[in-house]
Structure 1
Amino acid sequence: MPDAPPVADRRPLTSTHHGQQRVDDYEWLRAKDDPDVRAHLEAENAWTQQQTAHLADLRQTIFDEIKARTLETDLSVPTRQRGYWYYSRSFEGKEYGASCRVPAAVDGPDSWTPPEPAEDSTVDQPALPGEEVLLDLNDLAEGHEFFSMGASAVSLDDRYLAYSTDTNGDERYTVRVKDLTTGELLPDVVEGVLGGLTWSPDGRDLYYATVDASWRADKIWRHRIGTMQGDDELVHAETDGRFWVGLGRSRSDRFLLLAAGSKTTTEMRFLDTRDPDGTWQVFAERREGIEYEIEHAVIGGEDVFLVLHNATGPDFELGIAPVSPTPADGWRALIPHDPAVRLDNVDAFAGHLVVSQRSDSLTQLRVLELGADAEGGIADDYLVPFEAEVYTVGVGSNPAFDQPTIRLGFTTMAVPPSVYDYDVATRELALRRRTPVLGGYDPDDYEEHRLWAEAPDGELVPISLVARRDRPAGPVPLLLYGYGAYELSIDPYFSVARLCMLDRGAAFAIAHVRGGGERGRRWYDNGKLGHKRNTFSDFAACARHLVQEGWTTHETILGEGGSAGGLLIGAVANLYPAQFGGLVAQVPFVDILTTMLDATLPLTVPEYDEWGNPEDDPAVFDYIAGYAPYDNVTSQEYPPILAETSLNDTRVLYVEPAKWVARLRETDPDGAGRPGVLLKTEMSAGHGGVSGRYKAWHDRAFSLAWMLERMGLAEGPAPGLAGPAE
C-alpha cells in the first residue's frame, strides 16, 4: 500500500492568450488512453482506498441503514395513457426495475382512479391483474458493468415500444423497438442518440436527436419503422454552435414541436400531424434574447398556441397566439408578466391549464379552469394550496389531454415524495402514495426552516434547513449543499440516505445561491457571466449565517456540490478555506478556463452564454482566470477535500478534478502532498456516477462515511432506527 499521496509528473504546456502566458503542468492527464494517465488515476484510487480503509465498517453500516429504510420490492403509482395503466416496479435484491402496464377499465366514474396492488404481491407475482412486463432492466443490464436507461415511448396505437440504453456512461444511447403484440424486437437499431424519443401519431415514424463532435444535440431525424438508420430523413440541422435541438409532441397529439435553443434565445417549428409529410413552419423567428415555448390548447372552442415567453419581461408571460406563424407582437397576454412571479412551464388539457411557477423562492401550481362561456375562455384562476414552511411541488406524469385530474408530486426535506391526484372539478387532493420509509420513520421527528443570509452586497439568500428535533443542544455538525448555475433551482427534497446523517445528530441545509432560479430570472442573471463570483460569496454568506445563528461551527460545517456545483466548491476552497471543516466536490467543473478556451471540447460553445468566451474577450479571460478553481490553487491551508469523478463522463471530463488534485498536492506548504485531499475515480461510469441502486447506495455510503468522520460523528450507530417493518 502507498505510504504517501501520488505525485503527478509536471509536464509544462505553455499557451498564450491575449498576450498573457499560461503554463499548465498537468494537461497531459487529458490523454485518457495513455497508460501513464491510467496508472496515475489508479494510484490516486489506491491512496483514497488506503486513507479510508478504517471507514469500511461505517460504510457498510450506512449501506445497511439505507437498505433497511427502503421498501425494495415496490410499485409506482400507475399513470393512465389511452387504454392502459403504466407503472414501474422494483425488486428486492435486484439493481434495476421493470416497466409494466395493465389494461384500463372502460371509461366510467372511477376510470381515473389508479389501481392498487394486492398487499401480498411478491417479486415473482404480477403486481396487478393482467400485468404485462414491457422491459425488465435487469435483463437488459446483464453482462454490462454499467447500464443506464435513457428514454422510452409507446406508439399511439399501443403496439410499439421504443427505448434507448447506454452501457458505458458516455450518454450516447442506442435505440431499439419492441413489438408489444409479439414481444419480439424489430430489426431497427438507431445508434448515437441523445434525448427523448417521439412517435408520429400514425406509429410509422420515430423522431430522435443526435449530437455533433462537441456533444451538442444538433440534428433531428425521422426514422421509418422497418428501415435502416442510414435511410433516416434529416428533419432539421442546427448550424449555430450555441444552439441545441429537441423535439416533442403536443399533449393533444395534434402537433409535433421542434425547438432550437441557446441559453438566451429560442426558435420553434411546428408540424400539423394531420399532414405528417407536410411542411414544418417556424412559429416565430429567433431574436437574440427572446426565449419562448409553445403548446397547443383549445380555449373558447378555438385552437390556439399557448406561448410562454420573456418578450415583455424577464420572469415570463403566458400569451396566446393563432395556430400559425406569429411574431411576438401578435401574442396576446393571458397571464401578464409579474416581476414577483417566475412562470416556469405550462401544461394544457381539454378543460384546464396548469402553470408551474415560483414566488418568493417557493414552487407553486396555478390552475386556470377553461369555460366556453367565460370571458376570454378562463372561468377561474387560482393556486393549489399547500401548508408547509419549505416544500417542493410539481406536475407529475399527465399524458392524457382529456384527463379530469392533475397528477402532481409534493415533498419536503422531512416528508417523503408524495403523489397526489388533484380533481379540478371538486378541487380535492387525493393522496395516492407516499414513498414508504421503513424502520419506524416519522416526519414529525424532524424540523424544517427557511432562513435568510445576507450576502456582502446586501442581497438576502434563502437557506432551507432540516434537523432532528431531539438533536443535541447547541451547534451541531452540518452539511451545506449548493449548485448555482444554469437557472436550475435546488428545491427542498427528501433523501433516505441523508437520514444516516440527520439521525446521528447533524443538520442539512441547501444554500439557494445566485446562478440558480429560486428567486426569478434576476437571481440567475446575477450569478452568471461577469457576476459569477456572487455564487461563491452567497455560499460563504450562508455558511457564516448558520454559524452566527448557532446552528453549527466553522470546524464542523461541510460543503458539497456537484458538476457546476463542484466549481462552486472548488472556488470556495480557494476563497474561504477557513470557513469549512471539509469539502466534497462531485464531478467538479474546476478547470473552467481550459475548457472554455477550447471550442472543440464537449459543450463549450453552447456554454458561452453562461460563462463567457475567454478566447475572444480578454476581459472575460481575466474574469474567469480570477476565480477558476484549478488556476487559483495556492500554498495556503485547505480543509480536507474529497473529489469524486468518473472516467467516461462526457459533461465534465475526469481530467478536471484529476488536474485540480494534482495542483493541490503540488502546492502543499508542508511538502507532504496534502494527504487529506482524496480523488476517487469510477473507472466504468459517467456523469451520474455508478449504475444500479445498490451500487449507488454503496457509492453514497462512501461519501457519507467520509463526511461523518469530518463531523466527528463516525462512532456509534444512528439513533432511532428500528428494524424493517413487518
Structure 2
Amino acid sequence: MTGTPDAPVADVRPVVRRHHGDEFIDDYEWLRDVEDPDVLALLEAENGYTEARTAHLADLRETIFGEIKARTRETDLSVPVRHGDWWYFSRTVEGLSYAIRSRCPATPGDWTPPAVEAGIEAPGEHVLLDSNVLAEGHEFFALGAFSLTDDDTLLAYSTDLTGDERYTIRFKDLRTGEELADEIPGTSGGATWSAGGTHVFYSTVDDAWRPHRVWRHRLGTPVADDVLVHEETDERFFTGIGRTQSEKFLVIGASSKITSESRLLPADDPEGEFRVVLPRSTGVEYSVEHAVVGGDDVLLLLHNDGAPDFELVAVDLEPVLTSPLASARDGRVVVAADPGMRLEDVDVFARHLFVSYRRAALTRLGVLDIEATGFGPMREVPFEEELFSCGLGANAEWDQPLIRIGVGSFVTPSSVLDLDPDTFETHLRKQAEVLGGYDPADYVQHRTWATAEDGTLVPVSVVARADTPQDGTAPALLYGYGAYEISIDPGMSVARLSLLDRGFVFAVAHVRGGGEMGRAWYDDGKMAQKRNSFTDFVAAAHHLVAEGWTSHERLVAEGGSAGGLLMGAVANLAPDAFRGVLAAVPFVDALTTILDPSMPLTVIEWDEWGDPLHDADVYAYMKSYSPYENVQERPYPAILAVTSLQDTRVSVVEPAKWVARIRATTTGDAPILLKTEMHAGHGGVSGRYDSWRERAFELAWIIDTAAGAPASTS
C-alpha cells in the first residue's frame, strides 16, 4: 500500500520468568504499567497506526453505522413488567444513548401489559431514572442495580462512571422523586432489599476484583456503620446476595468454578443470622429456590452431587433453618438427572415450577405443576424452529397467572411472550422490529457437525442469506468462545445483517469448553483438555470449507475475552486456515496472568485453567498453548486486537504484548493492528451509538479482510 505508515515498535526490555526449572524471556512485560507515559504513548501510537491502516474504510464504516441505525427503531420501549401496583418499562429515544426507566399504574387483576406507545407518555407515567442525565459529562456510563422495595416506594440504583466495574449505590424515594442522602461507593454493583425496605445488602471486591464481602446497610445511617455479614476468605470463591423468587428469603451465594455454598435468612429478619443450607464440598455445586407445596415451605436444590448434568431435589425448609443438610442426595427427586439433559436454572412461582435446561446444543423450558402433595411431571414447552434459544423473561410477581418468556433465533427477531403454563397458549407482547423491510424468509439457519481431531462431532451453527452460493466463493465469519461452560445460543443481530446482506456466511463453532452439550462438553475443554477448544475450532473452519460455505482465503475468525484466547491459539495453531482474526479484549497472555495470584481473578481461575504456579505439569501444558509464548516465525493472518484501558478482567497489557511480539516475529506482511478504547472497560464503550460505531469499525475490517467482499449492500 503506497504511503503505508510504519508500525509502532515496542521497546525490547527483556525480563526472565522462571518457574519449575523453565526460563522464558519476556521482551514486553514492561507494557503492564499502564500509568507509564511510555506505555500510554505506545497505545496512542497503535491507535494512530490502526486508524491510518484502516482509513480507506472510513466511508464503509459510516455506511454500516447508517445501516445499523436505519434498521433500529431508535425511539422504542420495552414490554412493561408488573411489580406490585405498577407496570415498569424503559424507553429509548432517538438521539439519546441510554434508556429512560419509567412506570405507570396497574389495574388490579389485569395482567395484560398496557399499550404504552413509543414517544407518547403513558397515562400516569412517572420517569424513575434517566440514564442520559446520569451520564452527562462522563466518557463512560453503566447502570448496575435497579432494585425496588417490596412496596415500590424506594429505588436503589448503582452507576459505574469509569468502566472499572466499581459502582456507587444511591437511593431514591419514588413517592417524592427525592434523592436520599445515603451513598455507598466502591461496590460490585448489586443491591438487594430486605422485606420492609429498611435494609439493603450489597457486596464489595478485594484488590483482585473478587466480590468477597457482603454488607448490610440500614437506610438513613452512615456507611461507616454498615455491618459485614459474610466474608469469603478463600480466594477461589466469589460471593453475592439476592432473594428467592418468592421474596421470602435472602440468599448469600458463594462459589468457585467447581464448588458452591448458600446461606439463607428470612427476608423480614434482616439483622438475623444467615444459615448454611449445605456445607461446601469440593466439586459439589448447587443453587437454592423456595417453593410452597400444600401450604408448607420447601427448599429446592439444583445440584450435581453424583449427577454431572445436575438433578433437582426438594427438602423441607424448616429444619434447614436450624441445621445444615448433610447431603443434597437426601432430597426428594423432582427432576431426575438425565445424561445429555443439562439442567441449568429453576424459577418458582405460586403454582408452577420452571426448569431451564439444554439438550442437543439447544435451550429448553420445562414446566411442572405445583400440586397439594408435590410436583407434577415435567412438560416441555414446544418451539418450532430448527435452531432457537428460549428462556424466562422478567417475572416479578410470585402469583402471576402468565409467565413472561423470550424466544428467538439467528433469523427470527427476539420475541417477548406471555405463556399460560397450563395450556402453553402464548400471547405475543412484542417482537423486536427490524426496519427496512426485513423478511426472515430471505435467510436460512442450519446446524451442521464438524469432526474433531479425536473423532468428536462438534456442532456448528450456520446462518446466511438464502441466495448465498454454497460453492466456496462466499466470505465467512466464524465465531467462537469455548470456556466457563458458557454457551453461544442462537440470536438475531441487526448489525450482523450488514455482513449477511453482503454475501457473508456467519457461523458459530460450539467448541468444547462451552456448555452447549452438557457438563462433559465443558470438562473436555478445560484444564488438561483445553487444547480441544482450539482443535475443535480449526476443525469447524475446515468443515465450513469442505461443505462449500467458504474458503480459507475468505474466512475470518472472531472471539472475545476467553474467546480471545481461542483466537490467539488458533492463529498459532492454524494460521493458514484464516484470512483474518478479530480478537476482542483477548486473554492472550494467559500463563503470565494465571501465574500471578496478585492479579485480578487469578486464584479463582485456577479451577478453570489449572494452577501453573504450584504444578509443573500444568505450567508445561499451559505454556504449550498460551498464545503469547507460542508466537512463531511464520506468516500470520491479518489481526485486529480490540481492547480497553480500564478493563479489569483482561488487562490491556495482554493484547499489547501479543501484538508487539507477533509484529516483531511474523514473516508475512498482513497488518497486525491494536485498537485501544481509552475510556471503556471489559464490555467496550458505553452508549448505543458509540457501540454501533465500534461494531461498524469491526465489521468494515472484517469485510475488507475477507478478500474482495463487495462493499455495497446486495
- TM-score bin (small chain): over 0.9
State the alpha-carbon separation in 1 of the partners of residues 4 and 243 from structure 2. 56
Who is 1:233 aligned against? Answer: 227
Could you tell me which residue of structure 2 aligns to residue 494 of structure 1?
492
1:51 partner letter: R
**Paired residue for 1:681?**
676
Q: Percent identity?
A: 56
Question: Secondary structure of 1:226's partner?
Answer: coil
Counterpart in the other structure of 2:80: 78
* Residue in 1 that maps onto 2:178: 184
What residue in structure 2 maps to residue 705 of structure 1? Answer: 700
Residue 390 of structure 1: aligned partner:
387
2:362–2:516 CA contact under 8 A, matched in 1:
yes
| Equivalent residue for 2:66, pick from 55, 64, 67 | 64
1:196 is the counterpart of 2:190? yes
Deviation of 1:472 after TM superposition, in Å, equals 3.9
Q: Which residue of 2 aligns with 1:377?
A: 374
Asked if 1:411 corresponds to 2:408, the answer is: yes
Which among 5, 11, 14 is matched to residue 12 of structure 1? Answer: 14
CA contact (8 A) 2:199 2:219 kept: yes
2:426 is matched with 429
Q: CA deviation at 1:157?
A: 1.7
Partners of 2:355 and 2:479 lie apart in 1 by 28
Alignment of 1:494-513 (within 5 A): 494-513=492-511
Structure 1 stretches of 4+ moved >6 Å = none
Matching of residue 457 in structure 1 with residue 457 in structure 2 = no
Report if the CA contact (8 A) 2:703-2:711 is conserved: no
Show the 5 A alignment for 1:308-387: 308-323=302-317, 324=320, 325-328=324-327, 329-372=329-372, 376-387=373-384
Deviation at 1:227, TM superposition (A): 1.5
Residue 724 of structure 1 is matched in structure 2 by: none
Alpha-carbon distance in structure 1 between the residues aligned to 2:470 and 2:156:
55
Query: What TM-score do you get using the length of structure 2 for normalisation?
Result: 0.97
CA-to-aligned-CA distance 1:659-687 (integer Å, 9 cap, x gap)? 000001111336xxx56110000011000
Aligned AA (1:73): T
Return 5+ residue gaps in structure 2 as ranges: none
Q: Matched residue of 2:464: which SS? A: strand
Q: Counterpart of 1:692 in structure 2: which amino acid?
A: G
Q: How does 1:561-572 map to 2 (within 5 A)?
A: 561-572=559-570
Find the counterpart in structure 1 of residue 690 from structure 2: 695
C-alpha RMSD over aligned residues:
1.2
**In 2: Cα distance, 1:524 partner to 1:350 partner:** 34
* Inter-partner Cα distance in structure 1 for 2:16 and 2:643: 26
Moved more, 416-425 or 526-535: 416-425
Letter in 2 for 1:228: P
Alignment check: 8 A CA contact 2:643 2:676 kept:
yes
Matches within 5 A, 1:284-303: 284-303=278-297
Asked if 1:275 is matched to 2:273, the reply is no
CA distance in 2, matches of 1:141, 1:49: 27
CA contact (8 A) 2:636 2:667 kept: no
In the alignment, the residues of structure 2 paired with residue 182 and residue 195 of structure 1 have an alpha-carbon distance, to the nearest angstrom, of 25
Contact 2:443–2:464 (CA under 8 A) maintained in structure 1: yes
CA displacement at 1:331 relative to structure 2: 1.6
User: C-alpha separation between the residues in 2 aligned to 1:77 and 1:29?
Assistant: 47
The amino acid that maps onto 1:536 is F
Q: Does 1:245 align with 2:239?
A: yes
Partner SS, residue 629 of structure 2:
helix
**Greater shift after overlay, 425-434 or 79-88?**
425-434
Q: How high is the TM-score relative to the length of structure 1?
A: 0.96
Check whether the contact 1:4–1:675 (CA below 8 A) recurs between aligned residues. no
Tell me the SS of whatever aligns to 1:621: helix
User: Is this contact kept in 2: 1:535–1:568, CA < 8 A?
Assistant: yes
Where does the alignment leave 5 or more consecutive residues of structure 1 unmatched?
720-726
How many equivalent pairs are there?
A: 705
Matching residue's letter, 1:634 = Q
Q: In terms of mean alpha carbon deviation, does 332-341 or 686-695 score higher?
A: 332-341
> What is the CA-CA distance between 1:429 and the residue it aligns to?
1.1
CA distance in 2, matches of 1:276, 1:602: 31
Q: Output the amino acid matched with 1:641.
A: I
Tell me if structure 2 keeps the 8 A contact 1:283–1:327.
no
Deviation at 1:152, TM superposition (A): 1.0
Q: What letter matches 2:34 in structure 1?
A: K
- For residues 2 and 197 of structure 1, the distance between their equivalents in structure 2, rounded to whole angstroms, comes to 51
CA distances 1:181-240 after superposition (whole Å, capped 9, x unpaired): 111111111011114210001101010010000000000000111112111000100000
Letter in 2 for 1:717: S
> SS of the residue aligned with 2:277?
strand
CA distance in 1, matches of 2:148, 2:396: 12
What is the alpha-carbon distance in structure 2 between the residues aligned to residue 657 and residue 473 of structure 1?
35
Q: Could you say which residue in structure 2 is the equivalent of 1:97?
A: 99
Q: Does the Cα contact within 8 Å between 1:705 and 1:714 map onto a contact in 2?
A: no
> Which residue of structure 2 aligns with residue 603 of structure 1?
601
CA positional deviation for 1:384: 0.5
Q: CA deviation at 1:714?
A: 5.2
Residue 493 of structure 1 and its aligned partner are, at CA, apart by 1.2
Aligned to 2:53: 51
Instruction: Give the stretch that moved more between structures: 222-231 or 510-519.
Output: 222-231
Alignment partners' CA distance in 1, 2:45 and 2:418: 52
* Aligned match of 2:557: 559
SS at match of 2:190: strand
Equivalent-residue separation in structure 1 for 2:479 and 2:424 (angstroms): 36
Cα offset, 1:2, TM superposition = 7.5
Which stretch shifts more, 422-431 or 209-218?
422-431
